[in-house]
Structure formats: C-alpha cells, structure tokens
Amino acid sequence: MRPAIFAILMLGLCGLGHAQKVRFNPLDKSEMVDRARNAPQNDRDRAARLESWFHTHGCGGSSFHEQQAENSQAPNLVCDLNPDAEETIIIAAHYAVPPANRNAIDDWSSASLLPALYQCLKGVKRRHHFVFVEFGDAGTEAGEEYFLSHRTDTEIRNTEAVINLDALGFSPTKIWASHSDKDLVHSLMIMVYALKLPASQVDISSLESDQTQPFVQRKIPQITLHSFAKSHVEGTSRMQFRPGNFYDSYKLLCGYVAYLDASLKRSHGE
C-alpha cells in the first residue's frame, strides 16, 4: 500500500464565520478501484473481505461487531469510530449480492468504500461518533430496521445525520435530493465547490427503492448519494464502472463527512 496522502483543506465553514481546517487521509486511487472492481460472488466472502479491510485500517476488537437480522441472509457489519462522543453520524451501504429474481443493482462499489472512509477520518480528533454500517440485506429494509431496533432512544435522538450510499462509480456523484434533507444537501454542495469535484441532482425513485425510510420515520436527517445518470434511469445508456468518477466520489465523501463533523450543530430531536 502506498503511503496515504494527507489532505488539508482550508475553507470558511458556513455559519461559523471563520476559517476551519477540514482534514482527511484518503487511500490511493489504484487500491480503491481494485477493491470496487473485484467483488466476491457470495455474501459470506463479501462480509469477510469488508471485515478484513476494517481491521486493516484499525477498526477491530470492541469497535467492530456483527448483527444478524432475522429476515436477512447476511449480517450487518458495524464499525465505530470515536464511540465516546455524544452526537453521531452514520454512514451506510449495502454489500449483499442482489437476488437473481429481482432487477436490483449491486451496491458493492459503495460498500467497498466504507472501510476507506474510516481510514479518511481516523488519526484526527473528531467531534462526532461515526458509525459505519454495512447492511447485509439486498433490496429490503430488514438490515436498517434491525440496526435501529438495537439502538437506544438516546442514541437515535443524538444521531445528526445518515449518509446513505447507493452504487457509486457509474458517473459523477449524484444526489437523490427529493429524498434527502435540504441542509445535508447544502453542506454537500459547499464541499463540491471547495474541492472542485462534480456532483448533480438525479431522482432515482423509478430505479431504486428508498431504503432510508426507517431513518426518516425516526426523524433522523438523511442524504442519499449515488451515481446513476438520467440516461441510466431512463434506460438509454449502459451502466459502466468509471474509476475516475468512483475516486472523485470517494474524495468528495472524505471531505463531506469531515466537514459535517466540524459544522453540524445539534438540532435533531429539539
């Protein structure tokens, strides 16, 4: 592994009135692309590979655990960073192989990205408790419901944001804006301009089910990011993995999550 690049971004945080350092530590592009392209063919191997990557980046022991939902073939994988903090940001993706009898899209590219997001954030003092959760269900809400049912009312009340990742790397980063919290969308656009990376809004209601409803029902702000262009949604172009787009999405997410850590003010549940 090539030594990680240490990126420091100076920007004015909206509403704070002064410059703030947003720091993150991304992995090398070639390694990220290799992880996304080489998806194991069954859920057990996928879970083992993700666990291995989390452990490689330092998330092991009591910081990592599995949850086996009753209606899911594969377990949720949960990694905690800075668990003693009161306020929480959740970053979520699905890793299971899509059922053959459904017209579902494989979200492995986004699932493979979560351990690297952990790497981006670690090593710098953070204000939030970050929960990285890899849901083991495909095309259902079983994993989300089980995960939330095992969190206390206080933990749910103190969750300031959920960043939900659908498949990434098929085009520049897209936002499902109509199903996302407007303040979280606004914060993402700040980082889009600051990092000079592409992003736009594309509704995917006709392509993907909204698996964030368990969070929405509990009044937790969420944002869904994906990479489906309008031509993909309309079925007029073939989906093709694009390494440059994938790595741009990764860098944007590194900056975005670090920015939320510095900028979010507790408002959920008040």
The whole-angstrom distance between residue 183's C-alpha and the CA centroid of its chain comes to: 17
Closest CA to 51 of 61, 41, 37, 38: 61
- DSSP line for 71-120: T-SS-EEEEEESTT-SSEEEEEEE-SPPPTTS-PPP-HHHHHHHHHHHHH
pLDDT digits 0-9 by tens, 37-89: 999 999 999 999 999 999 999 999 999 999 987 777 799 999 999 999 999 99
| Confidence at residue 10, expressed as pLDDT on a 0 to 100 scale | 47
| Confidence at residue 116, expressed as pLDDT on a 0 to 100 scale | 97
- Count CB neighbours of 71 within 10 A: 11
Q: How far is CA 84 from CA 42, 117, 132, in A?
A: 34, 19, 15
| Confidence at residue 70, expressed as pLDDT on a 0 to 100 scale | 78
Q: Could you tell me the pTM of the whole model?
A: 0.90
| Confidence at residue 18, expressed as pLDDT on a 0 to 100 scale | 27
List for the chain the helix, strand, coil content (%; round to 5).
35, 20, 45
pLDDT digits 0-9 by tens, 213-237: 899 999 999 999 999 999 988 888 8
The span from the CA of 148 to the CA of 160, in Å, is 14
Closest CA to 110 of 246, 269, 243: 246
| Confidence at residue 90, expressed as pLDDT on a 0 to 100 scale | 98
Closest CA to 202 of 229, 180, 224: 229
For the chain, residues with pLDDT lower than 70 are 1-21, 101-104, 139, 207-209, 266-270
Domains and CATH numbers, the chain: 7-263 (3.40.630.10)
Using DSSP, how many helices (H) and how many strands (E) does the chain show?
A: 9, 10
